Amino acid sequence: MIARRLVFAAAFVLVGCLLAAWVQTAGLRVQVTDIRLQTAEGQQLSALLYVPASVSEARPGPAVLAVHGYINSRETQSGFAIELARRGFVVLALDQTGHGYSDPPAFSAGFGGPAGLAYLRGLAFVDPQRIGLEGHSMGGWAVQMAAAAEPDGYAAMVLAGSSTGTFGAPEGTATHPRNLLLVFSRFDEFSELMWGSPTAAGITETDKLKTLFGTTEAVVVGRAYGNRYLGTARQLAMPAVTHPGDHLSVETIQQTVDWFETMLEHQSGVQQQTWYWKELATLMALVGLVMLVFPLLDLGLNLFGRALRGQPVKPSIQPLGSRRVAMLLTIVMPVLSFFPLQNLADTWLPANPFLPQQITNGVLLWAWGNGLLTLVLFCVWYRRQANLNLRKCGLVLQAGQTFAVFKVALLVFAVLNLVVLLANDWLLVDFRFWVVGLKAMSAMQAGLFLIYLLPFTAFFLVQSASLHNQVQCYPNHPGPAMWCNGLVLSSGFVGLLLLQYTPLLLGGTLFFASQPLLSIVAFQFVPVLLLAGLVSTYCYHKTGSIYLGALLNGLLVTWYLVAGTATQAVPFFWTPAG
């Protein structure tokens, strides 16, 4: 039975990865290479280089530098990269400084943009007169820094969900940047930051955009402004998506492709898009990876966990009213504290050489704030219980069980890491859908993983103790209990997202308009906490103990966080390459 489930899950992973690689290489007609380059300051940057078979030193082709936004990585630009490469463009999809596999700190060296453009211009199979720059969100500032470093080094630019004159990027004028397409979605969460308008629809009336387009009247969506031969061409597109929705927008990608085909004078004749098949394929691989967790747990328990099995004593079933109150608190408390605690991290726990990832620090402060409150409530509840002890609560490990917990959890963790590493090294694909992605860790990130692991695992210990003793979803039915607990942990964030996005999608602003970044981060909490509930409950019903599930959740979530966000400070143990 275990072998069958392992094979089934592995098939999902394998088929998903192979299909993703096939689409990414346009059926092997595009060579994709993992490369490293250096900034002028000596930092090492990582990138994926897409080279179509149609280009060579004898026939140099047009090229595009594509740069992702904040707390993303080079893979999030794959929709743009795949479609441009299929049409004969060389594409360099760059990891910004401090992101992905590029050296920290983030925001340095022009976000990595100048080095990316210099590398692209130095390739013998690239026509230096036909180079375009494309950046999403903060990646738009990266490509503008590249344009500032080499004003004559590019012919056209696409800014998706981005702006001029923000966060160090040069101010926009009617002549700079050269030949610009601005794609700013109708429901973009960052309209205030980017263009000084409370709503995305209102940016057409702002003086900042009028100055960029060289007009005194409201900018008209889709109208051609300026002259491409003078480098002053301008156009505004507003697809009906959100800020991160640009990555999943056929319209956004098509407008980008059309702009570069026109401005870089390269008409391919290719009409259809295929990038979304890669997105679905990596989703399939990610689902398969999650499916692997549970048979691997059973395998580990069979190999190392005999001391954990047996017939554990379960706590007595709590009154329904008490369980409902505990469930309500478990749903509501994390959501109410989400914005306040993460914002406090900017002051209380800023990025530093010991904890150098600001977003991870925000999640950590949120986790510890909720963990401490949950621990207090658990202690109050425990003192009121009669005929209940720590062993019945699953909080005591007997002799021989401690090592078994570590062996089983590390087996699952090691196998998943090996699978992700092989997919990255052999096929250059990661496991993702949209903004939810699991990547292999770099050497530096592995060091950060060890630093962040203990505090996150402590949170999951407290969460598990409360979940299985106070909430007690379907205590005698493991299957329903898994899904119930997963929904208890994640449903509050579904509600938060509905609260935030309903007014935005109706033409207004986010409900909490000052929280666009954390609203996008909240999307990731839904699947991550759902999985945490599934893993914790599966392990608890197998062992009667909270420790295996808490340790495995600590391992998996810490890995997810440190490999998938930005590093704002240089870790104390790390010396950047070069």
pLDDT over 70 (residue 407): yes
pLDDT over 80 (residue 202): yes
pLDDT over 80 (residue 28): yes
Output the pLDDT for position 316: 64
Give yes or no for a contact between 25 and 419, defined as CB atoms under 8 angstroms apart: no
Output the pLDDT for position 117: 98
3-state SS class at 70: coil
Section 236-250 average pLDDT: 96
Q: Which are the contacts of 366, defined by CB distance < 8 A and separation ≥ 6?
A: 334, 337, 338, 341, 342, 345
Amino acid identity of 26? A
* Residue of 138, 27, 119, 16 lying closest to 77 (CA atoms): 138
Burial 150-177 (b: 16+ CB within 10 A, else e): eeebbbbbbbbbbbbbbeebbebeeebb
The two tokens of residue 494 are 């579904």
pLDDT over 70 (residue 239): yes
How far apart, in whole angstroms, are the C-alpha atoms of residue 421 and residue 418? 5
Q: Which are the contacts of 531, defined by CB distance < 8 A and separation ≥ 6?
A: 290, 486, 556
Q: What is the DSSP string of 244-313?
A: GGGGG-HHHHHHHHHHHHHHTT---------HHHHHHHHHHHHHHHHHHHHHHHHHHHHHH-GGG-S-PP
- CA 477 remoteness from chain centre: 34
Helices H / strands E in the chain, number of each: 16, 10
Give yes or no for a contact between 232 and 226, defined as CB atoms under 8 angstroms apart: yes
Residue 385's pLDDT band (cuts 50, 70, 90): confident
pLDDT over 70 (residue 577): no
User: Nearest 5°: CA angle at 7, between 6 and 13?
Assistant: 90
Burial (CB count <10 Å: 0-12, 13-18, 19+), residue 381 = middle
- CA 334 remoteness from chain centre: 20
The two tokens of residue 287 are 């689902």
Backbone angles phi, psi at 136, to 5 degrees: -100, 130
Give yes or no for a contact between 185 and 195, defined as CB atoms under 8 angstroms apart: no
Output the pLDDT for position 395: 85
3-state SS class at 52: strand
pLDDT over 70 (residue 312): no
Q: How does pLDDT run across 63-91, given as a tens digit for each residue?
A: 999 999 999 999 999 999 999 999 999 99
Q: Is the peptide bond before 353 cis (omega within 30 degrees of 0)?
A: no
Section 517-546 average pLDDT: 95
The two tokens of residue 578 are 């070069």
- CA 261 remoteness from chain centre: 30
How far apart, in whole angstroms, are the C-alpha atoms of residue 374 and residue 319? 19
* Residue of 319, 334, 474 lying closest to 381 (CA atoms): 319
Output the pLDDT for position 356: 98
**The residue to which tokens 């890491």 are assigned:** 417
How far apart, in whole angstroms, are the C-alpha atoms of residue 422 and residue 18? 12
How far apart, in whole angstroms, are the C-alpha atoms of residue 43 and residue 105? 9
Mean pLDDT of the chain: 94
Q: How does pLDDT run across 100-143, given as a tens digit for each residue?
A: 999 999 999 999 999 999 999 999 999 999 999 999 999 999 99
Q: How does pLDDT run across 141-172, given as a tens digit for each residue?
A: 999 999 999 999 999 999 999 999 988 888 99
Give yes or no for a contact between 317 and 552, defined as CB atoms under 8 angstroms apart: no
Output the pLDDT for position 314: 60
Residue 398's pLDDT band (cuts 50, 70, 90): confident
pLDDT over 80 (residue 576): no
Section 383-388 average pLDDT: 79
Output the pLDDT for position 578: 58
**How many CA atoms within 13 Å lie on the side-chain side of 297?**
24
Q: Is the peptide bond before 177 cis (omega within 30 degrees of 0)?
A: yes
Output the pLDDT for position 185: 97
User: Nearest 5°: CA angle at 523, between 418 and 460?
Assistant: 60
Output the pLDDT for position 496: 97
Output the pLDDT for position 319: 79
pLDDT over 90 (residue 189): yes
The two tokens of residue 141 are 């500032």
pLDDT over 80 (residue 10): yes
pLDDT above 90 as % of the chain: 86
Output the pLDDT for position 425: 95
Query: Which domains occur in the chain, in start order?
Result: 33-272 (3.40.50.1820), 278-307+316-564 (no CATH)
pTM flag (> 0.85): yes
